Structure 1
Amino acid sequence: MSAIRSRRAPTKGDQREQALVDAARAVFRDKPISQVTIDELAGAAGITRSGFYFYFESKQALLAALVDQGIAEADLEMAEWLASDGLDRDALRRSLAAGLARWKVDGRWLREAFLAPDPGPDVMQVRDRLVDKGCTLFSTRIQRDARAGLTVGGPPALLARMAVNLRSTMFAEVYADPAAFDEDEVLDTLTDAILRLVYGVSPAPTPR
């Protein structure tokens, strides 16, 4: 007997919905979210304006779907370190390197989602979801190490928020002015800064 599939194959509707998400990612790379219209997003996906509203009720709903994918991508990037224990500097650096690579491509809309001081209510709602998810994963790991007596004092949730915000702020800086930074120096320094924040120490870098 053949194995039962755990997930149905994508329908045409699924594919069109994903096409809209992919189109939004491309459009938001080049233009501020607030200036992008529904017509632009629909046209980039090759569908009509009415077709857009069949899949998403608003631009904010489409942005939320894009952010959900971004969260999943960030989870995958950090998965190795989040699943390990203790400092594990090499795993953390690899995770940060993967995140920085994504920011170098999608930095425009990620900066709006994370760091714009007044992005508007739609983007602010998405930002809260993004930050809360990332902080929860960091906090869970810190709590595990805190129980083992490995971390510095301080609430794990607060330490996690500091680490997540430090990561996002530095990635945004590199996106905004990549010529100003040596990428290896950024990754080494950011890795050690997060480890010192959470553990009070950092190991010597592994020679590359």
Structure 2
Amino acid sequence: MSAIKSRRAPTKGDQREQALLDAARAVFRDKPIGQVTIDELAGAAGITRSGFYFYFESKQALLAAVVDQGIAEADSEMAEWLGSAGHDRDSLRRGLAAGLARWKVDGRWLREAFLAPDPGPDVMQIRDRLVGQGCTLFSRRIERDARAGLTVGGPPDLLAKMAVSLRSAMFAEVYADPDAFDEEELLDTLTDALLRLIYGSGPRD
């Protein structure tokens, strides 16, 4: 008996929606989000303006989907460390290296979506929802280690928010000035700083 496939193949609609997401990421790399028009996004994806509205009701809805995708990628990058316990420095550093590589490509819109002090009400609404979502897996991991007596103490959700904020702030610094830091040194220092924040010491202390 042949195996039953658990997932259908992508439809043309799926492919067009993904094309819009890919096009949006490319456009947002070059221009501030507020200056990008729906006609520009539709044209970059090779569809009409009415075609755009078939998939997304607004530019903000498309941006939310792009940011959702970015959060999923960040979670995937950190999955090895998030699924382990204790310091596990090597997997944390690998996850941070993958995240930094993504920020070096998409840093313009990631910085605007997550770090700009006044990105506008639509982007701020998306930010508030997704920053909380992005901290959840960090918080759960810290909670597990707290129950094992490994962490410094303190609310896991607050430690998670601090860790995620520090990661994003440093990645944004690298995007803004790629020559300001030695990349390997930055990754080592950031890895050890996060471990000390959560555990009070690094694995080599």
TM above 0.5, yes or no, is yes
Q: Helix, strand or coil for the counterpart of 1:151?
A: coil
Q: Helix, strand or coil for the counterpart of 2:21?
A: helix
Matched, 1:86 2:86: yes
Matched, 1:110 2:110: yes
Aligned length: 205
1:54 aligns with 54
Q: Which moved more, 1:137-146 or 1:116-125?
A: 116-125
Q: Helix, strand or coil for the counterpart of 2:119?
A: coil
RMSD: 1.0
Matched, 1:4 2:4: yes
Matched, 1:26 2:16: no
Q: CA deviation at 1:109?
A: 0.3
2:138 aligns with 138
- Once residues 150 and 200 of structure 2 are traced to their aligned partners in structure 1, the CA distance between those partners, rounded to angstroms, is 9
Equivalent AA in structure 2 for residue 151 of structure 1: T
Misfit runs of 4+, over 2 Å? none
The percentage of aligned residue pairs carrying the same residue is 86
Equivalent AA in structure 2 for residue 119 of structure 1: P
Q: CA deviation at 1:190?
A: 0.5
2:96 aligns with 96
Q: CA deviation at 1:153?
A: 1.6
Please report the TM-score for the alignment, with normalisation by the length of structure 1: 0.96
- Once residues 82 and 176 of structure 1 are traced to their aligned partners in structure 2, the CA distance between those partners, rounded to angstroms, is 28
- Once residues 102 and 56 of structure 1 are traced to their aligned partners in structure 2, the CA distance between those partners, rounded to angstroms, is 25
2:158 aligns with 158
Per-residue Cα deviation, 1:135-189 (whole angstroms, up to 9, x for no partner): 1110000000000000002100100000000000000000000111110111011
Please report the TM-score for the alignment, with normalisation by the length of structure 2: 0.98
1:71 aligns with 71
Equivalent AA in structure 2 for residue 32 of structure 1: P
Q: Helix, strand or coil for the counterpart of 1:178?
A: coil
Q: Which moved more, 1:189-198 or 1:122-131?
A: 122-131
Q: CA deviation at 1:125?
A: 1.7
Q: CA deviation at 1:128?
A: 1.7
1:180 aligns with 180
